[in-house]
Structure 1
Amino acid sequence: MTPTDRLLQLAPDAKTLESGRRLFYSRRWRLLGGDGEWLWGEFDVNSKRPIQSAVQVVEGKFHCSCRARARPCAHDLALILILKNNADRFTVGQPPDWLRSVQFQTTKAPRVTKDVTKADDRLTARLVLMDSGIDELELRLLDVARRGLADTLAQGDDSWLTTAARLTDAKLPGLAGRVRQLASLDTDGTTSELARGLGDLYLFLRAWRIRDELTPERQDELYQLAGITTKKDELLRRPVTSDHWLVVGTVNGQEDRLRYRRVWLRGEQSRRYALILDFAFGEFPFEQSWPLSASFEGGLHYYPGNYPQRAVFPEPRPGGRPYDGLSGYDTFTGMLDNYRRALGVNPWLQQYPVYLNGVRPVKGGEQFLIVDADGLSFPLPSDYPDFYRLLAVSGGGPLALFAEFDGYRLRPLSLLTELGLVPA
């Protein structure tokens, strides 16, 4: 057995080895080099810093700056495959500076605790289970593509709910939630919304297949959507965004006995929104109270990603002073421009927070609409209960409101009145 074959046998699982084979063919490798003892390379992920990977061939030591926990990772295995099948791609030379300063981990005789090993094993086992769920979802989406939307709608929502249950069993709760939304669109939505939902799922599926080639931030967004959340202690080590935060809107909901709450905050200086997502089971109260229009001082930590929204706020302190950071869009044109840019950064955004100036609630036929000064309009969700209250507060004139936008509809969460922000 050749040295490269022995190194390939150290692959933690078949999925990682298969990912390494895909990366072997990638054209994103650059600065491939070796000095007779080490192999190294940099993998371009369209960010400021490439993924830096290195392999010590004789002793079987591995290093990579990617976020994979197991070693050798797919990038390490790709370097071994390049050595085995196309060694001419390596240039003989001195190791780069980053390689000299790296503390390498030895997978041949791993120096890790049993707890870390068990955690890696659990993650590997979960990823294998998630891959099986992704495979089943792909078959379902391809079946929809063959049948067409009309035939899919005629089947009713039972098939979607069955698919969602199977995704939940495969440890993909985030995707299961999106599939349940498709079930509601069968009766409450439009064909275009259903097509968009299917397209979002297929986009996720294709991204999942090449997740080893994505930037760490994009991988984090992918894992968050799938249902793998970042641990709180890891979040608290992330950079702090300190500001004076205003509670601008809250959404409460429930799935079975699990209650959830989305709380939107707006930073006075940063002008950034932050989403606090809370859960409570049964009749248990939420851990923190977030009254509408209350303000808090302190630092929060955003979840990793290219377009971070969700955050944790470990130690909020009462603001104790007026808030002076509320400003919004005068027309839908500016809102849509920024929404498109946000989708370009994170194509899986579910809710986009918007503050709108001078819009009016209007009833157009059977639809309830929000209209801007230019006459452009967006409908409200069919389950929005307070349109006539909205109309009464506005008196038919313009008003300022905060809402969630999903690309099709606006869900008002609060209104700005003489008394401050009030629920919409």
Structure 2
Amino acid sequence: MISSPDDLLRLAPDAKSLEAGRRLFYSRRWRLVGGDGQWLWGEWVYGSGQRATESAVHLTAGHFVCNCRARERPCAHGLALVLMLKNDQERISVGQPPSWVRSVQYQADRQAKPKPLKDAEAADERQGERLALMGAGVEELELRLLDFARRGIADTLAQGPEPFLAAATHLADAKLPGPAGLLRRLARLGRDGTEADIARTLGDLYLFVRAWKNRRTLPPDRHAELLQFAGVNIRKEELLARPGLEDHWLVLGTAEGQEDRLRFRRTWLRGEKSRRFALVLDYAFGEMPFERSWPLAASFQGKAYYYPGSYPQRALLPSTTPGGRPYDGLVGYPSFVELRANYQKALAVNPWLYAYPVYLSAVTPTLASGQAGLADANGEVLPLHPEYDNFFSLLAISGGGTLAVFAEFDGYRLLPLSVVTEFGLVKG
């Protein structure tokens, strides 16, 4: 429970943010600064005055909300509002919060309010309705895949991306975002991919269809993985009720992407004692910042709560503290033979592994016939992902020799995320 403005100011992530808040406190660009005893809000105008940063503070819970792009919370805007509450309350008007604050308050109240017991039955009913809708979407997907197969890949591609995008829209309406994402990938591959890439993606979709139709016969862990791939999310409360894995975690690499206005980020951490990887997925819409930053090479002490599955990778790390000590225990694959052997074992357990973390202890960047790749000690070369555009920097770091690389492996290609140098981890 927060009891004073000083308590709120102590939540500042660092002295730099607090100093930025002090500068904004004196700014004349604030408008609609108000409060109702529970929330404190304000809009900071910038540019031509037509755009504003909307910032609010829940005074008792110490919850800061802002649509600025700062990576840390509380940001300078929220801290400036608290400084007004402490030092210049005449600038604050008492009244009803604007609509955007009421929306934030509604979401907070909804999450905090415990569900009555009878809501469990309603939740089960809604779950059943959603599964029925998803089942209808799977039936439609199967018909489309069979139609693609009858037409052939070349004839299907000749129609452009529209058939794939239309199918993806229908699947999204049927609450199947995972397969819908694969169809959108097919639309992109139609321009830049090979027929082998397209055939593999179509095969993955048909595997999903057959797995869905036989989901009642799957073991619980595989059934959970299938639902997660389809798009059924597990509530955070349920996940945190599971046992967590305490360890010293090292941030080995991050990858970011975007679909329409939704940005996503994959962050890979590795446990020092457990030697297990944890994948943290973050999402942000438009220009909103990600909820938390994971600096490369930083280490944290805390528990990882893995999503259920036969080969769990995705996890939450809700409460961590800085590691504060050196990280030890990185062991990499000496050759691609061992990499493929472990990948095949993992894939046999969970066929939905589209990003597999690999630490390669000694590889050499190579360029042959215009194809960038990494070569192991045996001379075998694995190509780099076509989205990777930092090959020549990788080559410069290696100086023509070997280097240690952390990357994602999709079964065919590598996507480097970081490189181990004498100065530590650097972005790959």
Give the TM-score, by structure 1 length.
Answer: 0.72
Q: Does 1:225 align with 2:229?
A: yes
The 2-side partners of 1:347 and 1:286 are apart by: 29
What residue is the counterpart of 2:66 in the other structure? none
What residue is the counterpart of 2:209 in the other structure? 205
Report the Cα offset of residue 333 of structure 1: 0.4
The 2-side partners of 1:238 and 1:314 are apart by: 13
Q: Does 1:171 align with 2:187?
A: no
Q: Could you tell me which of 404, 409, 414 is aligned with 1:405? A: 409
Report the Cα offset of residue 281 of structure 1: 1.7
Counterpart AA for 2:375: V
Q: Over residues 280-323 of structure 1, what are the superposed CA-to-partner deviations in whole Å (9 max), with x where a residue is unaligned?
A: 12222212111000000111110000000000001111000000
Say if 1:267 and 1:325, in contact at 8 Å, map to a contact too: no
Q: Could you tell me which of 321, 332, 338 is aligned with 1:328? A: 332
Report the Cα offset of residue 155 of structure 1: 2.2
Report the Cα offset of residue 154 of structure 1: 2.1
The 2-side partners of 1:114 and 1:272 are apart by: 39
Q: What stretches of structure 1 of length at least 5 have no aligned partner?
A: 1-111
Q: Could you tell me which of 193, 198, 221 is aligned with 1:194? A: 198
Counterpart AA for 1:166: H
Q: Could you tell me which of 237, 247, 253 is aligned with 2:251? A: 247
The 2-side partners of 1:242 and 1:415 are apart by: 26
The 1-side partners of 2:323 and 2:192 are apart by: 41
Q: Does 1:122 align with 2:129?
A: no
Q: Does 1:150 align with 2:154?
A: yes
SS in 1 for 2:313: coil
SS in 2 for 1:304: coil
Counterpart AA for 2:193: G
Counterpart AA for 2:184: R
Q: Does 1:375 align with 2:387?
A: no
Report the Cα offset of residue 383 of structure 1: 2.5
The 2-side partners of 1:407 and 1:154 are apart by: 28
Report the Cα offset of residue 196 of structure 1: 1.4
Counterpart AA for 2:390: D
The 2-side partners of 1:371 and 1:335 are apart by: 13
Report the Cα offset of residue 153 of structure 1: 2.3
The 2-side partners of 1:294 and 1:222 are apart by: 32
CA RMSD, aligned part only?
1.2
SS in 1 for 2:273: coil
What residue is the counterpart of 1:297 in the other structure? 301
SS in 2 for 1:308: coil
Q: Could you tell me which of 403, 418, 421 is aligned with 2:425? A: 421
How many residue pairs match? The answer is: 313
The 1-side partners of 2:188 and 2:347 are apart by: 23
The 2-side partners of 1:350 and 1:223 are apart by: 15
Counterpart AA for 2:427: P
What residue is the counterpart of 1:286 in the other structure? 290
1:10-409 to 2 correspondences below 5 Å: 113-409=117-413
SS in 1 for 2:326: coil
Counterpart AA for 1:171: K
Counterpart AA for 1:169: D
The 1-side partners of 2:191 and 2:333 are apart by: 32
The 1-side partners of 2:167 and 2:379 are apart by: 41
Give the TM-score, by structure 2 length.
Answer: 0.72
The 1-side partners of 2:412 and 2:156 are apart by: 21
Say if 1:217 and 1:306, in contact at 8 Å, map to a contact too: yes
Counterpart AA for 1:193: D
Say if 1:414 and 1:423, in contact at 8 Å, map to a contact too: yes
The 2-side partners of 1:363 and 1:317 are apart by: 42
Bigger mean CA deviation after superposition, 341-350 or 195-204 = 195-204
The 2-side partners of 1:214 and 1:383 are apart by: 35
Say if 1:261 and 1:278, in contact at 8 Å, map to a contact too: yes
Q: Over residues 355-388 of structure 1, what are the superposed CA-to-partner deviations in whole Å (9 max), with x where a residue is unaligned?
A: 0011111111121111111111111122211111
Report the Cα offset of residue 397 of structure 1: 0.8
Bigger mean CA deviation after superposition, 404-413 or 191-200 = 191-200
Report the Cα offset of residue 135 of structure 1: 0.8
Report the Cα offset of residue 150 of structure 1: 2.0
The 2-side partners of 1:375 and 1:282 are apart by: 44
SS in 2 for 1:153: helix
Q: What stretches of structure 2 of length at least 5 have no aligned partner?
A: 1-115
SS in 2 for 1:328: coil
SS in 2 for 1:129: helix
1:3-14 to 2 correspondences below 5 Å: none
SS in 2 for 1:123: helix
The 1-side partners of 2:398 and 2:149 are apart by: 45
The 2-side partners of 1:371 and 1:188 are apart by: 25
Q: Over residues 115-155 of structure 1, what are the superposed CA-to-partner deviations in whole Å (9 max), with x where a residue is unaligned?
A: 11211111111111111110110001111121222222222
